[in-house]
Structure 1
Amino acid sequence: MSTQTQNKANQEQATPRKATPRKETLRHPWQLVAQREISTKLRDKTFIGSTAFMLIIVMAAVIIPALIAGNNNPDKIAVLNDAGAKVVQTADAIKGGESYEVTRAEDPAAAERMVVDGDVKAALLPGDNGYVVLGDDRVDTDLQNSLREAAVNLGMEQNAAQAGLTPEQLRANTQVQERLLNPGPLPEIVADFVNIGLALVFYMTALGFGMMIAQSVVQEKESRVVEILAAAVPIRALLWGKVIGNTVLALSQIVVIAAASLIGLLATDRADILEVIAPVAGWFVVFFVLGFVALAGLWAVAGSLATRQEDLGSTTLPGQMILMIPFFFSVFAGAEAKTVASFIPIASSMAMPGRMLTENVPVWQPLLAILVLLVATVLIVRLGARLYERTLLQTGRRLGYREAIAIKAS
């Protein structure tokens, strides 16, 4: 009797020990898949190398133009007398200062030698009816226009003085001021550059990670690992694990790139741009996450339709077109086309942040675009999950999208 009681007690103690770990392990199976995706990518030399390459490109794109444009060394202009020096100083004032520096030359021959030797950018010499700008093989157009404007202004002032007019009387009612009806938050060149940068970051990240998702699914199908995973984990959990894991990686990569851009702007004394870019960057993250999640589901389906790596060229083509067309729209299209694209799902992830940099967009427009994108993302992910479930274990041949939609759920 004591032996039976002891065996029963041992069974009662042994049963929960076996059930508890299995229940804990399968409570959130998508987490296991997501962790596997993240850990695999972090050990992948190709992924690390591509991230490092993107960082180098971003740092170069931020720092090099700023260094070129921010070279504060003024151009030296050789002159022979005080009149020439006055013209150069006036041209420098027109440019806002620190653009041109006067360098004295003893005679025209000395000025020519200084130009040929590269000691000065150009020389301003007296001419028959004013001045002559002397260059080596060419004269910079901006420099020539500045010197011409300065010479005209000084000449008109001298002529006006001889006629008994003051400089103020001479310039009366001749000022032309600029007023913009819809001024953008950033200078046009900077806004266009950042607009292209944001669209390119989304395009390259979504395309790069999308191809990795599709390749990962095909590799698991080729090696039959997917059959083992599907036996232990629900197929939708496999999909969600891949989508969430790669979304975390992509967002982390964006944060690293943003940090590199911040360092580049601070290193080049362009922190003032951050005041405008920072709020738009917050909107960009929201658009990026929603757009990427929708595309990630489609990339996973592209992988499930294929049976080998060679099939990805055709199965991923729709995803590539969904990315490529909006990218060119957001970069090269006109204002009206960009406005329309900023409300179209996926395209809005690239077009709306760019519009917010180049024009004053009312708050309701990005909110509406996010709502439309959110609804589209939910629908696309649900459709992708159904197709993924129906096609993941189909290993006989490559399937088309129409055929996958026609397959009945088992």
Structure 2
Amino acid sequence: MSEQHSRLRHPWQLVAHREVSTKLRDKTFLGSTAFMLIIVLAAVIIPAMIAGRGGADKIAVLNDAGAKIVQTADLIKGGDSFEPVQVANRAAAERSVTDGDAKAALLPADNGYIVLGDDRVDSGIQTSLREAVVNLGMEQNAAGAGLTPEQLRANTALTEELLNPGPLPDVVAEFVNIGLALVFYMTALGFGMMIAQSVVQEKESRVVEILAAAVPIRALLWGKVIGNTVLALSQIVVIAAASMVGLLVTGQADILEVIAPVAGWFVVFFVLGFVALAGLWAVAGSLATRQEDLGSTTLPGQMILMVPFFFSVFAGSSAKTVASFIPIASSMAMPGRMLTEDVPLWQPLVAIVLLLLATVLIVRLGAKLYERTLLQTGRRLGYREAMALKAS
């Protein structure tokens, strides 16, 4: 251990090394990291397993004509969606539907076909079968009129063109948007509380007085901030790697192509936002004298996190745009916007500059308050009282 310390030339490095090594031996920290990995892997893998576990929906038919319609509907749907199952008569078709052997039945009628369901017919099945019946019927009618299917469909193509296309489908983009904001919120809150608790524990045990005698108080602050930033970023990298493995295993690699560039921006926003908040969490710990005091001293930090989180997730488009330029809130809002919108390059750059300036100001203010309050014992201090204290 002495050799390791001899290689750490600056006091803050000693403190950062102590923070990292202590957390890596902490079963609670390791357990929470493992729990988050399980949650992330479950969120990626389980939906894919559920989607692919049932296979194609079986549709009961009475003859080859019905089977052809079901096969055409399957092609329209993209394949592996519907499978025709031939039965003897309508009674057998009804039994297969009520028994759950078939999702629906396709039966001939006087003017076309009937889709038979139990208590309801899935809208996706009904739409695909209707389109298949129309297509095949039009081809038969065209043949009777001496037209080819191509001639019948001439000038009827309908394509989609978006003026402001998002880089991901809406549902996927919103899911990832919430995920990124939640990762920042949970990580900043979890590590922030650990920073505050660590400071209080050192004050309660009087260890802080020994540390302050050997290491400058500002170096204690920087060591805690940097050490926990390294831990938080490492935890996110591990979770991101697990997510990547999950997406690759479940055949969703195309999502990675869109998320990967935004992930780099997220790291920048995360580090700057976390450093600013880490300084405030350390101050929250220095204001307290016992663990019970943290409920009130950490409340401002919790609100600084909670309000932007709900704002960046549930606010409208215009409000999210504004939030993506506000420091701290931008750490959650801007990466999400870059997934759901075509954001010009200057916007994240401006947001980073604003966040960097705010981080510098917040850390400098936090350092002053930390120096003034760390060795104050006996009672809990308020933020206004801490601001009024003179530097020791």
Q: TM-score, normalised by structure 2?
A: 0.94
Q: Does 1:314 align with 2:289?
A: no
Letter in 1 for 2:286: S
Distance 1:142 1:168 in 2: 26
Larger-gyration structure (1/2): 1
Distance 2:71 2:251 in 1: 27
Distance 1:129 1:406 in 2: 87
Distance 2:294 2:19 in 1: 20
Deviation, structure 1 residue 57: 0.5
Q: Does 1:384 align with 2:350?
A: no
Q: Is the 8 A contact 1:79 1:123 kept in 2?
A: yes
Unaligned runs of 5+ in 2: none
Deviates more, 1:273-282 or 1:252-261: 273-282
Deviates more, 1:178-187 or 1:255-264: 178-187
Match among 153, 170, 195 for residue 213 of structure 1: 195
Deviates more, 1:80-89 or 1:211-220: 80-89
Q: Does 1:194 align with 2:187?
A: no
Render the CA deviation track for 1:252-297: whole Å, top value 9, x for unaligned: 1001001100110111111121111111111111111111000000
Unaligned runs of 5+ in 1: 1-20
Distance 1:253 1:171 in 2: 56
Distance 2:13 2:49 in 1: 45
Deviation, structure 1 residue 240: 0.6
The equivalent of 1:350 in structure 2 is: 332
Distance 1:278 1:178 in 2: 27
Match among 130, 137, 155 for residue 112 of structure 2: 130
Matches within 5 A, 1:94-105: 94-105=76-87
Deviation, structure 1 residue 168: 4.6
The equivalent of 1:301 in structure 2 is: 283
Deviation, structure 1 residue 236: 0.4
Q: Does 1:143 align with 2:125?
A: yes
Distance 1:347 1:380 in 2: 14
Distance 2:219 2:135 in 1: 75
Matches within 5 A, 1:113-192: 113-159=95-141, 161-162=143-144, 167-168=149-150, 170-192=152-174
Deviation, structure 1 residue 171: 4.1
Distance 2:131 2:376 in 1: 75
The equivalent of 2:227 in structure 1 is: 245
Identity %: 85
Q: Is the 8 A contact 1:342 1:348 kept in 2?
A: yes
Distance 2:8 2:128 in 1: 74
Letter in 1 for 2:162: L
Deviation, structure 1 residue 213: 0.3
Q: TM-score, normalised by structure 1?
A: 0.90
What SS does structure 2 have at the residue aligned with 1:179?
coil
Deviation, structure 1 residue 199: 0.7
Distance 1:187 1:27 in 2: 50
What SS does structure 2 have at the residue aligned with 1:181?
coil
What SS does structure 2 have at the residue aligned with 1:343?
coil
Letter in 2 for 1:382: R
Letter in 2 for 1:150: A
Q: Is the 8 A contact 1:72 1:98 kept in 2?
A: no
Distance 2:72 2:60 in 1: 15
The equivalent of 2:341 in structure 1 is: 359
The equivalent of 1:59 in structure 2 is: 41
Deviates more, 1:205-214 or 1:228-237: 228-237
The equivalent of 1:91 in structure 2 is: 73
Deviation, structure 1 residue 153: 3.4
The equivalent of 1:270 in structure 2 is: 252
Deviation, structure 1 residue 167: 4.2
Deviates more, 1:75-84 or 1:378-387: 75-84
Distance 2:9 2:64 in 1: 86
Letter in 1 for 2:209: E
Letter in 2 for 1:264: G
* Count of matched residue pairs: 389
Render the CA deviation track for 1:104-128: whole Å, top value 9, x for unaligned: 1111122223223332222111234
Distance 1:51 1:24 in 2: 30
Distance 2:262 2:285 in 1: 34
Match among 68, 74, 97 for residue 50 of structure 2: 68
Deviation, structure 1 residue 138: 3.0
Change beyond 3 A, Cα 1:26–1:289: closer
Letter in 2 for 1:332: F
Q: Does 1:334 align with 2:321?
A: no
Letter in 2 for 1:331: V
What SS does structure 1 have at the residue aligned with 2:251?
coil
Match among 222, 234, 238 for residue 256 of structure 1: 238
Letter in 2 for 1:177: T
Q: Is the 8 A contact 1:326 1:341 kept in 2?
A: yes
The equivalent of 1:12 in structure 2 is: none
Change beyond 3 A, Cα 1:221–1:162: same
Render the CA deviation track for 1:290-335: whole Å, top value 9, x for unaligned: 1100000000000111111111111111111111111112211111
Distance 1:355 1:71 in 2: 33
The equivalent of 1:38 in structure 2 is: 20
Distance 1:177 1:329 in 2: 36
Letter in 2 for 1:69: A
Deviates more, 1:94-103 or 1:342-351: 94-103
Aligned-residue CA RMSD in angstroms?
Answer: 2.0
Letter in 2 for 1:285: V
Q: Does 1:406 align with 2:388?
A: yes
Distance 1:271 1:158 in 2: 41
What SS does structure 2 have at the residue aligned with 1:97?
coil
